[in-house]
Amino acid sequence: MRTSKLNQSNDRDAAQMLLATGVVLLMSLLSMAIFGVKVAGLTLPHDTAADGVIITAQEVTNGLPELTEARTQLWIDGGLEPLVAAQTAMEGIHNDMLHHGEIRGIEVKMIDINISEVDSTTLSVTGELGVSDGDAMLSILISFTITHA
């Protein structure tokens, strides 16, 4: 009877060791597979999805002057003074871009925006545009003038 229990104990120990060895081997293979996939991704020549920050920055800088001018004119037509109208327009544009960026996964912020009157029909807008996603960040100085009636 004693020999039978000893054999069962040895069999159980051997089974546990075999199971542990299998788990260690499985984890090693999984680790090597993940590493192989990461290394394989490094050789890709270009990821078109990674251009989001650059494309968004270009779109914003190209459209911002016209959009600011149009919104400023709407606020002026609504009865605001030109300088206040431009500031209100820029605040609205900034909020819209923050919300739109959240949807696309790209953060767009306008920082240190200054608006000043050049003359009775022209306003100067300066500041910084920051565009970022999980992988990249781009900061661009912006400067443009808008005219109003």
DSSP result, 37-53: HHHHHHT-S--GGGGHH
Percent of the chain surpassing pLDDT 70: 83
pLDDT for the residue numbered 8: 75
| Residue pair 123/115 in contact by the 8 Å Cβ criterion | yes
Percent of the chain surpassing pLDDT 90: 37
Domain count, the chain: 2
Query: Cα separation of 141 and 99, whole Å?
Result: 21
pLDDT for the residue numbered 37: 61
Task: Reduce the DSSP state of residue 126 to 3 states and report it.
Answer: strand
Only one residue has tokens 């009636």, namely: 149
Same domain, 125 and 73: yes
Same domain, 38 and 89: no
What average pLDDT does range 133-149 have in this prediction?
A: 88
| Residue pair 138/131 in contact by the 8 Å Cβ criterion | yes
Query: Cα separation of 65 and 85, whole Å?
Result: 14
| Residue pair 65/17 in contact by the 8 Å Cβ criterion | no
What phi and psi, each to the nearest 5 degrees, are found at residue 54? Answer: -65, -45
What average pLDDT does range 3-15 have in this prediction?
A: 75
Output the furthest CA–CA distance in the chain (Å, rounded): 108
Same domain, 67 and 7: no
Same domain, 29 and 57: no
pLDDT for the residue numbered 117: 93
Same domain, 28 and 57: no
Give the domain range for residue 37. 1-45
Same domain, 18 and 39: yes
| Residue pair 83/115 in contact by the 8 Å Cβ criterion | yes
Same domain, 72 and 21: no
> Which token pair is 119?
């003359």
At 40-81, the pLDDT tens digits run: 555 554 454 567 788 888 888 999 999 999 999 999 999 999
Same domain, 76 and 126: yes
Query: Cα separation of 136 and 54, whole Å?
Result: 9
Same domain, 29 and 79: no
> Nearest to residue 143, comparing CAs of 84, 73, 68?
68
Same domain, 69 and 29: no
State the pLDDT confidence band at 36, using cuts at 50, 70 and 90. low
* Amino acid occupying residue 90: M
Same domain, 2 and 63: no
pLDDT for the residue numbered 75: 93
Same domain, 25 and 65: no
pLDDT for the residue numbered 46: 45
